[in-house]
Amino acid sequence: MPIITERAARLRKLRNAMREYIKNFSEKARTALSEIPADEVARALNILQAAYERDGRIYVFGNGGSLALATHWVSDFNKTVFSHNLEKHTRRFQAIRVPTTEEELTAWANDVGYDMVFAGPLQNYLQDSDVAIAISSSGNSPNVIKAVELAKSRYVPVIGISGFDGGALNRLADAKILVSTEKGEYEVVEGVHAVILHLMTKYFKDYFDDLEEREKKQR
């Protein structure tokens, strides 16, 4: 075989391997997406709806990438949900990432222990009318579970967003949103978590747009 064709074949093989890798990952993500537990997401939407009706607060927390998801969602849920009618909707969602500052996070971690970085600050805020959203891929992060147990002890509804086999979080949560995968599939789990959180945002965005539409018709 001429040297040029041989190199081209090797390249093609490499390219195919790359395509295969991407395909494999997408397939895993697609499977995880198609298995999102619809009833549990519906349950979560109902919990959020009830929190809005009583003007309660929504506390959301998680570690690492999950904390980033929490923060991203807070911004969307508090603002983007109402973005078509911001000035009309003076009553909006009150989603709050816990802890609210890095200072609190480090103070609790340094002075008390890393287990308490969510439960500690949450204790300051938590009222009976509130809701907690816990995000943990393994469902077993001790600091997340501590905060969930605090909420549960007060019968504050907990939306648990977990992965793998769901762990303790999926057992404890009232709305059990489990992205079921093999253990260690963090990338797929966190990616699908982002989709679910965006679904919640979109649902309420559509809901408030629809409400506005309805009021317009009645005027």
Partner 1 sequence: MIVVRAPLRISFVGGGTDLPDFYFRHPGRVLSTTIDKYVYIVINRTPLIDKVSARYSLSETVDAPDELQHTRIKHALIDFGIAKNIEIGSFASLPAKTGLGSSSSFSVALIKGLYSYQKKNIDKTGVAEAACRLEIDLLGEPIGKQDQYAAAFGGFNVFQFNPDDSVDVHPVFLDYKMRRMIEDHLLLFYTGIARPASSVLFEQKANIGGKFETLKSMADSVPEFTERLTRGDIQGLGSMLHDGWTMKKTLASNISLDSIDALYGAGMDAGAFGGKVLGAGGGGCMMFFAPPERKKVVRNTISEAARSMGLSEFKEIPVEFVQSSAEVLLNADNHRARGASSEIA
Q: What is the closest distance, in whole angstroms, from the C-beta atom of residue 44 to partner 1 in the complex?
A: 11
Torsions phi, psi of 132, nearest 5?
A: -120, 140
For helices 3-34 and 186-218, angle between their N-to-C axes, nearest 10 degrees: 50
| CB distance 212 to 85 below 8 Å | yes
Q: What is the closest distance, in whole angstroms, from the C-beta atom of residue 216 to partner 1 in the complex?
A: 14
**Which residue number, 87 or 155, has a Cβ lying nearer to partner 1?**
155
**Which residue number, 49 or 110, has a Cβ lying nearer to partner 1?**
49
Secondary structure (DSSP) of 32-84 = HHHT--HHHHHHHHHHHHHHHHTT--EEEEESTHHHHHHHHHHHHHHTGGGGG
How far apart (Å, rounded) are the C-alpha atoms in residues 77 and 88? 16
Residues forming the site for partner 1 (CB under 8 A): 39, 42-43, 46-47, 49-50, 53-56, 127-129, 153-155, 203, 206-207, 210, 214
| CB distance 63 to 117 below 8 Å | no
**Sheet strands side by side (includes 131-136):** 95-97, 58-62, 131-136, 158-164, 175-180
Q: What is the closest distance, in whole angstroms, from the C-beta atom of residue 206 to partner 1 in the complex?
A: 7
Length of the chain: 219
Please, is 206 exposed, middle or buried when counting C-beta atoms within 10 Å of its C-beta (0-12, 13-18, 19+)?
exposed
**Which residue number, 5 or 153, has a Cβ lying nearer to partner 1?**
153
**Which residue number, 40 or 190, has a Cβ lying nearer to partner 1?**
40
Q: What is the closest distance, in whole angstroms, from the C-beta atom of residue 203 to partner 1 in the complex?
A: 8
Q: What is the closest distance, in whole angstroms, from the C-beta atom of residue 149 to partner 1 in the complex?
A: 13
How do strand 58-62 and strand 95-97 relate by DSSP bridges?
Answer: parallel
**Which residue number, 49 or 71, has a Cβ lying nearer to partner 1?**
49
**Which residue number, 172 or 189, has a Cβ lying nearer to partner 1?**
172
Q: What is the closest distance, in whole angstroms, from the C-beta atom of residue 113 to partner 1 in the complex?
A: 25
